C-alpha cells in the first residue's frame, strides 16, 4: 500500500497537470478574438488588432450572444468596431448595399422584473440601426416579453425603412411590424400549421423559430429549428407544405438548423444553403423540377462544431460562422479555406459590401462547388487537438454541443472534461486527508 506521502505527490502532480493543461490550451485566448486551429495551418493566437492572412475582400461584421458582442473585423483582421452594450447580439444585416449602415437584433435580460409591469423575469428585444463610421446607434423598435428558456429574437428581415419581418422566438411566430407606428401588419403563428406535441417543450422552447426571410416572389421562408425543417409561407394562402425542406427527426436532412438562405432560380436555384448545426456541417439543397429537394453540396472539417451561419457570397465563396469551432471562415469553391479569423461563440457573420446574407450568391450546383466530408485531423495539429477531436467524434454531436453550450463561450469540450477530472481528483484528496486525520465528528446533542 503506497504511503500517505506517495499519495500526496500523486494528487499534487495530477492537479498541477490539470492546471497546466487548462493554462496552455487557453493561452492567448481573449473574449472575442481568441485562438483557433485551422486545417493545414498552425494554431493562430490572435489578439484584438492582430491581422490574419490572406486578407478578406471586405470588412466582416460578427455577432455573438455568448458574451454579448458585436464586432467588425477589417480586411486585414483588425477589429475596427466592438460593442458590448447588450447581453446578446443575434442577426446583423447591412442595409441594402450601404455597408456604413447596419441593422441588428439585440436582447437584454432583466431578472429583477424592472422591465415588466408584472414584476417577473422579462426580456427587452430591440431592433437597432448602427452607423459604423460615426458609431451612432438608433433604436428602431423595442418590445418587452416574458423571459423563457429561449425567448430572444434571433432574426429580422428588413423590408424597407419602416417595415421589418421579425422571427419571434418567444411566441413561435413571425410577424411584420411598421417600426414607425409600432403596428403589426401581418403575422403567421406556427400553431396554425404545426401540432404543439412536436418539437421542443410547449410553450418554453417549442419551435425555436430562428430565421426569417422574405423571398423575391413575396413568400416568407422560416426556420423551425426544433422541427428540423425550413417552411414556406404564402402571405395570402398560408403554409406551403409541398415546399417544406426537412422533417421532424429526419436528421440526415437537417438537424436543428440555423440561418437557411434561399437562392432563387436566376442565380441557379431554387436552392437553400443552411448551417446544419447539430450535424456539424453546412449543406445545400436544390429544388428539382419534380418538386423535391436533393442535396447539392456539403462541407465539413475536423474543427467545424455547431455552425450557425453560412452565406453564399457573389464570388462563390461561403462565409461561415463556426460557433463552437471558434472561428469565422470562408470556404472557397474548391472546398479549401480561403480566409479565417478566430472568434469565440459567434452567432452570425456578414461580409459588408456583398449585401444581406446570400443575396447575390450563386447556387452550389450552378457554381459547381466542391463538397468536403473529410473530418480527419491534419497532421500539423497538436496532440491536444488530436485527443479532443477523437473523443468528440466518438460521442453524439448533440451531447458534445450540449456540453459546450452549457459553459461560457471560451470553454472547450476538453477543458470541461479535464476540469471535471481535476475536481474529482481534488475531492478524492480531501476525502483521503480527512480519513488520515484524527478528526472525527460527534453529534452536538447528547442524551443522558
Interface with Ca ion by CB under 5 A: which residues? 91, 93, 155, 157, 211, 213, 261, 309, 311, 348, 350, 357
Residue 238 near residue 193 (C-beta atoms within 8 A): yes
Residue (222 or 377) nearer to Ca ion, CB: 222
Residue (152 or 261) nearer to Ca ion, CB: 261
Query: Rounded to the nearest whole angstrom, what is the least distance from the CB of residue 265 to Ca ion in the complex?
Result: 18
Nearest partner of 147 among 88, 70, 188, judged by Cα: 88
Strands (E), 65-135: 69-73, 79-83, 88-95, 98-110, 122-131
Query: Rounded to the nearest whole angstrom, what is the least distance from the CB of residue 93 to Ca ion in the complex?
Result: 4
Query: Rounded to the nearest whole angstrom, what is the least distance from the CB of residue 337 to Ca ion in the complex?
Result: 17
Residue (29 or 103) nearer to Ca ion, CB: 103
Query: Rounded to the nearest whole angstrom, what is the least distance from the CB of residue 124 to Ca ion in the complex?
Result: 19
Residue (110 or 175) nearer to Ca ion, CB: 175
Taking the C-alpha atoms of residue 233 and residue 215, their distance in angstroms, rounded to an integer, is 10
CB atoms within 10 A of CB 130: 23
| Helices and strands counted in the chain (H then E) | 5, 26
Residue (91 or 108) nearer to Ca ion, CB: 91
- Here the cell at position 69 is 458582442
Query: Rounded to the nearest whole angstrom, what is the least distance from the CB of residue 369 to Ca ion in the complex?
Result: 17
Residue (256 or 348) nearer to Ca ion, CB: 348
Write the burial class of residue 219 (CB in 10 Å: 0-12 exposed, 13-18 middle, 19+ buried).
middle
Query: Rounded to the nearest whole angstrom, what is the least distance from the CB of residue 75 to Ca ion in the complex?
Result: 18
Query: Rounded to the nearest whole angstrom, what is the least distance from the CB of residue 340 to Ca ion in the complex?
Result: 16
Q: What are phi and psi of 266, to 5 degrees?
A: -65, -15
- The answer to whether the peptide bond before residue 194 is cis (omega within 30 degrees of 0) is no
Residue (215 or 391) nearer to Ca ion, CB: 215
Q: How far is CA 6 from CA 1, 18, 40, in A?
A: 10, 19, 43
Query: Rounded to the nearest whole angstrom, what is the least distance from the CB of residue 52 to Ca ion in the complex?
Result: 19
Residue (260 or 409) nearer to Ca ion, CB: 260
Burial 9-21 (b: 16+ CB within 10 A, else e): eebeebbeebeeb
CB atoms within 10 A of CB 4: 12
Amino acid at each position: 500500500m503506497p504511503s500517505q506521502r506517495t499519495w500526496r505527490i500523486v494528487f499534487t502532480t495530477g492537479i498541477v497537470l490539470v492546471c497546466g493543461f487548462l493554462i496552455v490550451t487557453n493561452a492567448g485566448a481573449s473574449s472575442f478574438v481568441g485562438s483557433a486551429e485551422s486545417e493545414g495551418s498552425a494554431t493562430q493566437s490572435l489578439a484584438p488588432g492582430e491581422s490574419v492572412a490572406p486578407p478578406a475582400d471586405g470588412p466582416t461584421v460578427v455577432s455573438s450572444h455568448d458574451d454579448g458582442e458585436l464586432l467588425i473585423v477589417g480586411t486585414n483582421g483588425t477589429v475596427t468596431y466592438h460593442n458590448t452594450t447588450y447581453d446578446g447580439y443575434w442577426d446583423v444585416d447591412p442595409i441594402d448595399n450601404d455597408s456604413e449602415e447596419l441593422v441588428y437584433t439585440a436582447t437584454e435580460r432583466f431578472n429583477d422584473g424592472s422591465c415588466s409591469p408584472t414584476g417577473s423575469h422579462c426580456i427587452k428585444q430591440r431592433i437597432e440601426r448602427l452607423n459604423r463610421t460615426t458609431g451612432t446607434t438608433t433604436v428602431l423598435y423595442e418590445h418587452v416579453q416574458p423571459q423563457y428558456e429561449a425567448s430572444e429574437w434571433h432574426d429580422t428581415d428588413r423590408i424597407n425603412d419602416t417595415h421589418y419581418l421579425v422571427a419571434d422566438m418567444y411566441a413561435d411566430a413571425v410577424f411584420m411590424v411598421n417600426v414607425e407606428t409600432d403596428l403589426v401588419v401581418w403575422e403567421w403563428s406556427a400553431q396554425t400549421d404545426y401540432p404543439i406535441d412536436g418539437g421542443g417543450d410547449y410553450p418554453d422552447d417549442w419551435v425555436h423559430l430562428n430565421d426569417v426571410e422574405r423571398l423575391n416572389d413575396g413568400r416568407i421562408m422560416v426556420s423551425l429549428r426544433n422541427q428540423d425543417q425550413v417552411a414556406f409561407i404564402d402571405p395570402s394562402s398560408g403554409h406551403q407544405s409541398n415546399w417544406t425542406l426537412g422533417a421532424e427527426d429526419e436528421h440526415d436532412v437537417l438537424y436543428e438548423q440555423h440561418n437557411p438562405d434561399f437562392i432563387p432560380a436566376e442565380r441557379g436555384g431554387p436552392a437553400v444553403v443552411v448551417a446544419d448545426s447539430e450535424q456539424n456541417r453546412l449543406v445545400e439543397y436544390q429544388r428539382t423540377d419534380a418538386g423535391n429537394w436533393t442535396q447539392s453540396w456539403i462541407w465539413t472539417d475536423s474543427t467545424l462544431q455547431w455552425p450557425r451561419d453560412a452565406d453564399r457570397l457573389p464570388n462563390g465563396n461561403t462565409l461561415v460562422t463556426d460557433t463552437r469551432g471558434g472561428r469565422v471562415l470562408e470556404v472557397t469553391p474548391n472546398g479549401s479555406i480561403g480566409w479565417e479569423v478566430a472568434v469565440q461563440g459567434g452567432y452570425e457573420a456578414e461580409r459588408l459590401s456583398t449585401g444581406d446574407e446570400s443575396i447575390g450568391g450563386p447556387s452550389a450546383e450552378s457554381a459547381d462547388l466542391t463538397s468536403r466530408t473529410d473530418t480527419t485531423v491534419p497532421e500539423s495539429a497538436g496532440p491536444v487537438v488530436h485527443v479532443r477531436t477523437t473523443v468528440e467524434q466518438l460521442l453524439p454531436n448533440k451531447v458534445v454541443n450540449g456540453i459546450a453550450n452549457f459553459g461560457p463561450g471560451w470553454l472547450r469540450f476538453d477543458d470541461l472534461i479535464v476540469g471535471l477530472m481535476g475536481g474529482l481528483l481534488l475531492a478524492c484528496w480531501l476525502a483521503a486527508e480527512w480519513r488520515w486525520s484524527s478528526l472525527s465528528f460527534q453529534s452536538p446533542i447528547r442524551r443522558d
